[in-house]
Each structure stands twice: as C-alpha cells, then as structure tokens.
Amino acid sequence: MVNRTEQLTAQEQELRLKEFLAKIERGEKIEADDWMPEDYRIQLIKLIAMHGLSEIMGALPEKEWVPKTPTLKRKLSLMAKVQDEMGHGQLLLRVAEDLLKPLGKTREDIMNDMFVGRLKFHNVFHMATVSWADAALIGWLVDGAAIVTQKMLAHSSYAPYARALKRIILEERFHAYHGEDMVIALGDGTPMQREMMQDALNRWWPALLMFFGPPEEGGLKSNQEMNIRYKIRTKTNEELRQEFLDKYVPQIQALGLKVPDENIYYDEAAKKWVYTHADYTYLRDVIAKNQGPRSQNRLNLRKIGFSNNAWVREALLKKQSEQIS
C-alpha cells in the first residue's frame, strides 16, 4: 500500500509526518486513502471499533424491554431506537473497516476480536436493565452522555468518522428526547414509579460517570495525549464529564430526583463540579475482563446472531466478488 509507513525511508516518514501534522493543524481533514502515521491509524481503529461495538452491544439492554413496554407508543419508539443503534454500529464498523484494510483485517475480525476480548465495549452496556425505568434512563442519560462525547468527536481530524457522527448525532438527539419523555412520564406518575426512576438513577450513576473514562490523575495518559495531538479528540475525559454534569445535574434536580452523591456541589470559583468518584477499578475491569453483570449473556447472544447470520455475509461477499470479476 502506498500510504504504509514502513515502506518509506526514515527521512520520507519524517517529512510525511511533518506535512500530516501541519495539515491537521490547519484544520484540514484526513480521508481514508490519505497517508497517515501508523499510530494515528491504530488509535482510530481502537476508538471507532469500540464505538461501533458499543452501539451494537448497546442496543441489547433496551432490546430486552421491547416485549415488555407499557404501551404500543413506547414499543414503537423503543424498537425504532434499537434499530437506529444497530444502524450506527453498522456505519461505524464500515468506517473502521476502511482503516483495517491495509492491515489485512476485515469487519468480521472486529466482531471476532470482541468475542475473544481483544476489543471492548462501553461499561454501561454490561449492566443489567432490571426495570422499565432503566430503559428510560438509558435513553435520557446514556444517550445524553453519548451526545456530549460525539459532539466533540464530530470535529475529529478523520473525515469519515466526523461525517458518520454528524448523521448519528441527529438520531441520538431523538433518542435523548425519547428517554426524556419516558423519564418525565415516570416522574409525573405514582410514588412507586418515581421510586423506580430514582432506583434506576442510583444504580446507573457510577457507570454514567465512567462513561467518559477514568479521570486523568497525574496528567494525561499517552493515548489521550496522542488523540488530542492528532485532533482525533479535543477534550479530556474530565472536561467531558464536567460538561455532562453541567447539563444533567440541574435537570435531574428539576425533575425532583436526587443525584446519588451526598457530596456533589458546584465550585463557583473553580467553575467545576466536585463529586464523589466511582469505583473506576471495578468499572475498568467490567470493560477489560467482560465481568459486568450482563457481559457474558450479551456476548453469547451476539455470538449466536453473528453465527446465524454468517450465510448472509457469505452470500453478499460472493455476489460482490462476482460483480468485480
């Protein structure tokens, strides 16, 4: 491949890297066929594959509630959301696939890598959805957290990812309205419904904090630093978490719910939320070792779907190769 770093001399590599950095510094975008440093490619693959897998695995917690929605209207909107999330996964894995091609890997490898634990998905989607209020909370706050992150990533220096995200965000906004509507209905409901909502918030709060990644104690980790230098992302984990708290703590309180953190307050002088950190070690293990309450069950479900649908992929690939020849 023309754009693979190892086929260039050290001097050529240095020059290309300089041009590449100058290009992203000028705010220009990188396309799939453009030359890119190997570590840029690897960072993008990790990020976009994890994002795509999280969309697919993230459809499962809510899918569990599709047969049990309280009304037809809720069933229709929940089904539409679940389908959207699978579509987001499809779109993102295609973006990752283009980056994988020069490494001789395919989209199927992404899924297989997740099955053997080489690729991960977000901690929130390892959690159990024990009540209808969990489905409401996911739409409202998990999609809300996703919008905060995706709005930043939509400015990524990698053009195909930025383009895909602009389209995805439009649908994520609908998801957040759908969740908000469900939360308001429960908040306006019976004492038992309000209790269900509070209980869901209590259980999901630590995972929501972790959604943005652990805090950067003692400075940025090399991955984040590299992603910021390459303009794949522009904000740190903590900046994103603060944005989320800015937006949602007042909303939670306005709904008459209680933020499940006795110590949280807004420090006016520092202009930031001071809050109790989640158990990041446990949550990191949930992602790294797939040991969340529903991790194995959902991975097994995905494996069954992946293997049952293998014939569709094989038929499409065969048709594609016939068209090419």
- Give the residues lining the site for Fe ion (CB under 5 A): 55, 85, 88, 143, 172, 175
- Quote the least distance from Cβ 66 to Fe ion, whole Å: 15
Q: Provide φ and ψ at 11, rounded to 5°.
A: -70, -40
Min dist. Cβ of residue 295 to Fe ion (A): 19
Of 231, 232, 259, the C-alpha closest to 245 is 259
Shortest CB 58 distance to Fe ion, Å: 7
Nearer to Fe ion, 36 or 59 (CB): 59
HEC per residue, the chain: CCCCHHHCCHHHHHHHHHHHHHHHHCCCCECCCCCCCHHHHHHHHHHHHHHHHHHHHHHHHHHCCHHHCCCHHHHHHHHHHHHHHHHHHHHHHHHHHHHHHHHCCCHHHHHHHHHCCCCCCCHHHHCCCCCHHHHHHHHHHHHHHHHHHHHHHCCCCEHHHHHHHHHHHHHHHHHHHHHHHHHHHHHCCCHHHHHHHHHHHHHHHHHHHHCCCCCCCCCCCHHHHHHHHCCCCCCCHHHHHHHHHHHHHHHHHHCCCCCCCCCCEEECCCCEEECCCCCHHHHHHHHHHCCCCCHHHHHHHHHHHHHHCHHHHHHHHHHHHHHHC
Q: Note whether 283 and 210 are within 8 A (CB).
A: yes
Measured from the CB atom, the residue of 36 and 129 that comes closer to Fe ion is 129
Smallest distance, Å, CB 77 to Fe ion?
12
Output 30 or 53, the one with its CB closest to Fe ion.
53
Cβ nearer to Fe ion, comparing 30 with 138: 138
| 145/209 with CB nearer Fe ion | 145
Q: Name the minimum Å distance from CB 304 to Fe ion.
A: 22
Task: Tell me how far CA of residue 24 lies from CA of 28, 155, 223, 230, in angstroms.
Answer: 5, 11, 18, 7
Of the two residues 78 and 209, which places its CB atom closer to Fe ion in the complex? 78
- Shortest distance in whole angstroms from residue 177 CB to Fe ion: 11
Taking the complex as a whole, the smallest distance from the CB of residue 161 to Fe ion amounts, in Å, to 14
Q: Considering beta carbons, is residue 20 or 140 the nearer one to Fe ion?
A: 140
Kindly state the smallest distance separating residue 70's Cβ from Fe ion, in Å.
21
Q: Which is nearer to Fe ion, 175 or 241 (CB)?
A: 175
